[in-house]
Amino acid sequence: MAEMRYREALNQALAEELERDPNVYLMGQDISVFGGAFKVTEGLMDRFGEKRIRDTPISENTIVGIGVGSAMTGLRPVVELMTINFSLLALDQIINHAAHVRYMFGGQVSVPMVVRMPQGAGHQLGPTHSHSFEALYLHVPGLLVAVPSTAADAKGLLKTAIRDDNPVIFIEHETLYGQRGEVPDDPDFTVPFGLAAIRREGTDVTLIGISRMAQTAERAAEQLAAEHGIEAEVIDPRTLRPLDLDTILESVAKTNRCVIVEEGWPHGGVGANLAALIQEQGFDDLDAPVGRVTGVDAPMPYAKSLEQISFPHEQQVIEATLALFGDRKRASRG
């Protein structure tokens, strides 16, 4: 094990995969000379050269489209979009093309491409720069969606994403880049898709945290244990497509209660989707409605006082959990 930052783990994954497969190449805005807006690709240009670490103009849709075309013809592009907010300009290439060319051409081609980008609020960047869009990409058949919340998962999932033959939407989190974590030394270390991580075992309630919210859920769980005697099991699905629903249902069968925590908007969110799946397939196990803690149903405000109450913190998770135990008085809306 080595301790490193989330961004360093990503950098290692990229370097190892570039080393392993000459058809892997990187492209994105300011990723070579500048080293990446979040310094994830720092040093790679010196090591692998401009042919494989390619700076692009600010043309999101076309960058992704070039990735799709090159993936259809034998390369394995890893496209960095500066942040997920800008992926909205590339939705045509991501959905109409990356996700669908294999299907619409009857399986004649595949698109082994990774689109990496960070999401998330907390830096006071206002409505256009603070989105969380895992639900948007989860919606699309043909895409795989990874949402790593630890340094080890960042590395292990990225390596899996690069090796997979499907287009993978790889969602990092802006506030996690500097966070340290233990990462296995083994150069063949990967994290499989479709395998949830149980971050904390517990018997009373299942907390499912998406992306950074897996950490928020974990902290809430410690407080629930210390202050309320509630032992929460915390699950980080790590990939939303494929989804390890088995682990979630097994946990709910044990705890009989479930709260889903996500940073994105409530309507059509990941939690809405998961709650539907859990009640469809685990209804008899539930002692209470599935709870959801989400970002508020509004654009992201700039003012710190407003931004901080626009996405979930431990307190909202604790309140939503207590509400499932009949303590509805304490479950005021955040």
Partner 1 sequence: MADRPLPPSETALNWLRSMTLIRRFEERAGEQYTRAKVGGFLHLAIGEEATIVGAVAALRPTDYMIATYRSHGQALARGSEPGRVMAELFGRVDGLCRGRGGSMHMFDLERRFMGGFGIVGGNLPLAAGFGLTSDYLGSDDATLCQFGDGASNQGTFGETLNLAALWSLPVVFMVTNNQFGMGTSLERHSAQTDLQRKGEGFGVPGLECDGMDVIDTWAVTTEALRIAREERQPVLVEALNYRFRGHSIADPEDYRTEEEVLEWSKRDPLVTFGDRLAAEGILSDEQREAIDLEAIATVDAAVAFADASPEPEPSSLYDDVYVLSDQVRGWYSADHRGAGLRKGEELS
Residues labelled as active-site residues: 60, 129
Q: How far is the CB of 109 from partner 1 (least distance, A)?
A: 6
Site membership for partner 1, residue 206 (CB under 8 A): no
Contact window for partner 1 (CB under 8 A) among 65-73, 176-184, 302-310, 317-325? 65-73
One residue of 4, 14, 25, 217 binding partner 1 per CB under 8 A: 25
Q: How far is the CB of 63 from partner 1 (least distance, A)?
A: 8
Site membership for partner 1, residue 70 (CB under 8 A): yes
Site membership for partner 1, residue 159 (CB under 8 A): no
Comparing C-alpha atoms, which of 77, 76, 81 is closest to residue 40? 81
**Total of chain residues touching partner 1, rule CB under 8 A:** 56
Q: How far apart are CA 99 and CA 107, in angstroms?
A: 12
Cα separations in angstroms, 314 against 49, 164, 220, 224, 282: 44, 35, 5, 10, 26
Binding letters toward partner 1, positions 174-193, x by CB under 8 A: ------------------xx
Q: Where are the beta strands (DSSP E) in 83-218?
A: 114-119, 144-146, 168-173, 180-183, 197-200, 205-209
Contact window for partner 1 (CB under 8 A) among 101-109, 251-259, 292-300, 308-316? 101-109
Site for partner 1 in 103-142 (CB under 8 A): 103-110, 112, 141-142
Q: How far apart are CA 260 and CA 263, in angstroms?
A: 10
Return the number of other C-beta atoms located less than 10 Å from residue 153's C-beta: 23
> Which contiguous run of DSSP H or E holds residue 25?
strand 24-28
Site membership for partner 1, residue 272 (CB under 8 A): no
94 close to 64: Cβ distance less than 8 angstroms:
yes
Site membership for partner 1, residue 229 (CB under 8 A): no
Q: How far is the CB of 209 from partner 1 (least distance, A)?
A: 18
Comparing C-alpha atoms, which of 142, 138, 135, 16 is closest to residue 71? 142
Give me the torsion for CA of 263, 267, 270, 271, rounded to 10°: 90
3-class secondary structure, 324: helix
Tokens read off for 175: 């506030």
Q: How far is the CB of 75 from partner 1 (least distance, A)?
A: 5
One residue of 33, 73, 267, 333 binding partner 1 per CB under 8 A: 73
Q: How far is the CB of 330 from partner 1 (least distance, A)?
A: 33
Q: How far apart are CA 144 and CA 162, in angstroms?
A: 12
For partner 1, the closer of residues 110 and 315 by Cβ is 110
Angle between helices 314-324 and 213-228 (to 10 degrees): 60
Contact window for partner 1 (CB under 8 A) among 69-77, 174-182, 252-260, 323-331? 69-77
Q: How far is the CB of 193 from partner 1 (least distance, A)?
A: 4
In the complex, which residues of this chain contact partner 1 (CB under 8 A)? 23, 25, 51, 54, 56-57, 59, 61-75, 92-93, 96-97, 101-110, 112, 141-142, 144, 160, 164-166, 192-195, 241-243, 245, 273, 277, 280-281
